[in-house]
Amino acid sequence: MKTMTDELARRLAGDLIRPDDPEFDGARRVWNGMIDRAPALIARCVSAADVSASLDFARRNGLEVSVRSGGHGVAGNAVSDGGLMIDLSPMKTVHVDPRNRTARVESGATWGLVDERTQRHGLAVTAGVDSRTGVAGLTLGGGFGYLGRACGLTIDSLLSAEVVLADGRLVVASEDEHPDLFWALRGGGGNFGIVTTFEFRLHEVGPDVMTAQVFHPMDQATQVLARYRDYMAGAPDEVGCYALFVNVPGVDPFPAERHGTTALALVACHAGSVEDGEVALKPLASLGRPFLAAIAPMAYATLQQSFDAGAPNGARYYWKAGFLDDLTEGAIDTLASRVDPLPGPYTNVFLESLGGAIARVDPAATAFPHRGSRFGFGISTGWEDATNDDQAIAWTRSLHEAMSAHYAGGVYSNYVDRDEADRIGDVFRANHARLQEIKAAYDPDNRFHLNVNIVPAV
């Protein structure tokens, strides 16, 4: 084996990390501390040529391939036992063209780095809500975030992608080149190849945006959620607003008597001018009687980091999710009666407002099919002690089961956890059959299967 790995090491411009190397243990770790897997080798790639060489080596030596960008996926598909991890994290160049409002971003970049570079020019693209999230994983799944209603999903701003295919070839996918592959990459996940570079259209946002952070006690949750639903029905597209059940942090400016209690938080961003944002977000402070309400300008890049501390690297996480066509009284009652207390300090149960620019794209125009729902719903359970695994997972499954009666059908691929292989049809829905055909054309042997896997059409 050493002779073979020496061959790969010589072919790589980046580093090859072996199990006996001192950096191996850290390199195999991902965000979710429940994932404890040990690959045979880790190829830290610095170019598309490195990726191609790694794929060739894995094929000739019968190694399973996993691909790491940010390592932030809850299911931990970035790493497998005994396989070859293709680690893209060294590939993080971000080049912004402010005149043409575009950015070329390598796949190892995180959204925090992209925001930092684009915000120098008052530009942005829909980019999740956690700055540590990898560009590749978020984009290939679709891409939600504060800017979704104003700018569309991340994939709606994707102009092209450079992709290393299963046979090692590097191709460009766009509306004009390999259009079938380009369609599939926009929501079909990492099933079709390894994207090494993305090209995005950017939008004028920031650098300061108006934000709202409004916290209510649990005895107001039913009333506030109903009013939140009605507020979002009439909100301008520039408003992206999350409703989250959270544990109140034990820090200022939260009142001491609220520390550690469960609260309903409304966290919003207005993607337009600060002045228009103040008018649009002001009603969020009067949907109930909040114990903390802050409606103020904030640097967009700072807002994008505001959830990071609530989901630290290495804690243990388990997720369930769905979509809601409406936030009915039944769904509100189910939530309000089941989320207090939350299991674990890093748990949140959230609703993300959809519609706007997301809904104006035909569900068949990209591989992402979930354009019509008003809200995304998710249970992100986070805790520290492994002895609490069974309790935390059981709580998550119980709430998910109770909410399933209110789901519209379907689930966002980036929220699918490692025990949900049976939900593939829910992820891709009417687009599944076409995706299977494209999979057969680009990866007939299903080499890229550590993902929300699309089995090639026969």
Residue-wise pLDDT for 391-428, tens only, equals: 999 999 999 999 999 999 999 999 999 999 999 999 99
Helix (H) or strand (E) holding 52: helix 48-60
pLDDT for residue 458 is more than 90? no
The letter for the amino acid at 257 is E
- Do 67 and 190 touch, CB atoms closer than 8 A? yes
pLDDT value at residue 5: 86
Q: Tell me how far the alpha carbon of residue 162 is from its chain's centroid.
A: 20
Rounded to 5°, the CA angle 302-307-313 comes to 115
Taking residues 293-305, report their average pLDDT: 97
Label residue 169 by pLDDT band (50, 70, 90): very high
Compute the distance between CA of residue 126 and CA of residue 360 in angstroms, rounded to an integer: 16
Residue 240, classed as helix, strand or coil, is strand
Going from the N-terminus, what domains does the chain have, and what CATH number goes with each? 2-87 (3.30.43.10), 94-204 (3.30.465.10), 208-415 (3.40.462.20)
Closest CA to 358 of 371, 369, 374, 373: 371
Compute the distance between CA of residue 17 and CA of residue 23 in angstroms, rounded to an integer: 7
pLDDT for residue 203 is more than 70? yes
**What is the secondary structure of 369-403 as a DSSP string?**
---S-SEEEEEEEEES-GGGHHHHHHHHHHHHHHH
